[in-house]
Amino acid sequence: MEAIDIFSVVKDVILALSAVVVAVIAFLGLRTWRRELTGKAKFECARKLMQLGYEMRSNFSAARNPFGYARIDRKEDENETGKESQVINQWEERRNLAKPLSESINKIIEAQWEAEILLSEASSKSVEEAVQLYRECYGELSSAIASYFDIKYNEARGRQVAQHQDWLRELSKTIYGGSPDDFSRKVDEATNKLSSALKQYVK
């Protein structure tokens, strides 16, 4: 009887130990899986942000290219003069060239929100600063296009715009500027800031 009791106790102990071992292995496996999953999520987030950063830089370059071309799909007003039509067409072309920037801005803002959740506080702060620089550049370019062609349109209609000539030249530099200039350096600063913050996650 005692032998049977001892055997039963030993069996229970072994079963209990087995349960503990299985639980420990499951816990360690879950923790490893979670760590790998988190690492993969951080990698994907950083990779997406960097891709969008380079996309932003490329789109800014294309939007400011003096020889850039974009399709214009508008019906000219029969009361437009030749000069007015020319200005409106150029205005429309520049707006169309800048449209990809608007799409990229929206995408990188969404990715920034994801970075705030997944990445370290320091990295997400740098991402936020980089995105803010992109937004400032986009706002500056959009404003320059609107102001420049509004003045040029008034000029085409015979209105006096002599007082705006210095401003026109500055706006023209923003719209048609090349690289390197102050504007492109600001875009590069944003891209480099993004790259520095994210490279630790994509090694």
The conformation of residue 157, written as its DSSP 8-state character, comes to: T
Determine the average pLDDT of the residues in 91-104: 93
Which sequence spans correspond to the domains of the chain?
A: 45-201
97: tokens are 């060239």
- Structure pTM? 0.79
Picking from 115, 1, 96, 98, the residue whose alpha carbon sits closest to that of residue 50 is 115
Tell me how far apart the alpha carbons of residues 128 and 111 are, in angstroms, rounded to a whole number: 10
CATH number listed for the domain at residues 45-201: 1.20.120.230
Q: Which pLDDT score, from 0 to 100, does residue 77 have?
A: 79
Q: Check pLDDT > 80 for residue 177.
A: yes
pLDDT in tens, 17-67: 665 555 445 444 444 434 554 568 888 888 899 999 999 999 999 999 988
10 vs 118, residue with greater confidence: 118
Report cis status (omega within 30 of 0) of the bond before 66.
Answer: no
Instruction: Establish how many alpha carbons lie within 13 A of residue 202's alpha carbon, considering only the half-sphere containing its beta carbon.
Output: 15
Average pLDDT, the chain: 83
Mean pLDDT throughout 122-132? 93
Looking at residue 189, its pLDDT comes to 95
